[in-house]
Structure 1
Amino acid sequence: MYKDIHIGHLILVKWKELDFSIERACNFFKISKTDVENMFSQKSLDTELLLKWSKLLEYDFFRIYSQHLILYSPPSKRTNAESLKSKKLPEFRKNIYTQEIIEFILEQINSDEMSKNEVIEKYKIPKTTLHKWISKYSK
């Protein structure tokens, strides 16, 4: 899991994995070869560009950020009453764990980097959920 996200590099990795031609990206974005190559060196990109890369490479680059938030964002200190009064945007549940997150968490435990209790406390994963993962995915 990426704690320090360099989205341009991650796009380049996926790009190379799929073996796309630079001309295809130039045509898709309607920009020069230099501009495409410059995007690979960018630590962050505009959301519209990131959406286009996601479509071109058929990979959800936004999920990298979502998974980062699930694992590393601090818990909310607002009460439910406060949050209900001020909602302007939709709320998304934080407990949607992808396979990558489950594997990351289990790797933390299996490599002795973190104890089960540390994982539960740090990532706010319910104890029963963690035990289900361990019984289901551990070999």
Structure 2
Amino acid sequence: MNFKKIHIGKLISQRVQEIEIESMRICRFFDCTEKEIAEMYEAENLYPDIIMKWCKLLEYDFFRIYTQHIILYAPIDQKKYNKKKIGKSPLPSFRKSIYTQEIIEFILELILTGQKTKTEIINDYNIPKTTLYKWLQKYSATEGKKEKINDV
């Protein structure tokens, strides 16, 4: 999955094919024509309320894809964050330092395929050095166990 360039219409179309949902059901849910649904599949961007409806219909959280993009490509700069102490905001507060399994696999794949070095990962994605090395240790040990199990 390429989290840098998100084409939401293609992802929705892919999910529709995966779960084999009928186009008539989609049309009834959205109260629109098949042509309008096809246009949504071609759209690179959709309004959030439309994406929310797709999430409900397809039982998949498409917003997480955007969250992964933010974690990877727009991390909080701790130096700036610590200087600007913003008072209590009425907006909900989310922890950005939570990495999903998909993100971890994406980062480890970049290292294992030689696309990026550990230093580049640390600098480009602002992932703490200790976190990266813990992932490498944990998931390389897990892979070793899987290989041993498969050999038996």
TM norm. shorter chain > 0.5: yes
- 1:67 matched to 2:76? The reply is no
Aligned to 1:33: 34
Aligned to 1:53: 54
- 1:134 matched to 2:129? The reply is no
Inter-partner Cα distance in structure 1 for 2:21 and 2:80: 46
The offset of 1:74, in angstroms, is 4.9
Distance 1:123 1:115, change over 3 A: same
Q: 2:102 aligns with which of 92, 100, 103?
A: 100
Runs of 4+ residues over 4 Å off in structure 1: none
Inter-partner Cα distance in structure 2 for 1:113 and 1:52: 37
Q: Which structure has the bigger radius of gyration?
A: 2
Name the SS of the counterpart of 2:123 in structure 1.
Answer: helix
Q: Deviations over 1:60-112 (max 9, x none)?
A: 00000000010011544634353414845233221110000000000010011
The offset of 1:136, in angstroms, is 1.3
Distance 1:79 1:133, change over 3 A: closer
Inter-partner Cα distance in structure 1 for 2:51 and 2:72: 21
Aligned to 2:122: 120
Distance 1:73 1:79, change over 3 A: closer
Inter-partner Cα distance in structure 2 for 1:4 and 1:82: 30
* Structure 1 residue identity aligned to 2:37: V
* Structure 2 residue identity aligned to 1:103: E
Aligned to 1:6: 7
Distance 1:90 1:129, change over 3 A: same
Unpaired runs of 5+ in structure 2?
144-152
* Structure 1 residue identity aligned to 2:94: F
Distance 1:96 1:31, change over 3 A: same
TM-score, normalising length: structure 2: 0.84
* 2:9–2:44 contact (8 Å) kept in structure 1: yes
TM-score, normalising length: structure 1: 0.91
Identity of aligned residues (%): 49
- 1:19 matched to 2:20? The reply is yes
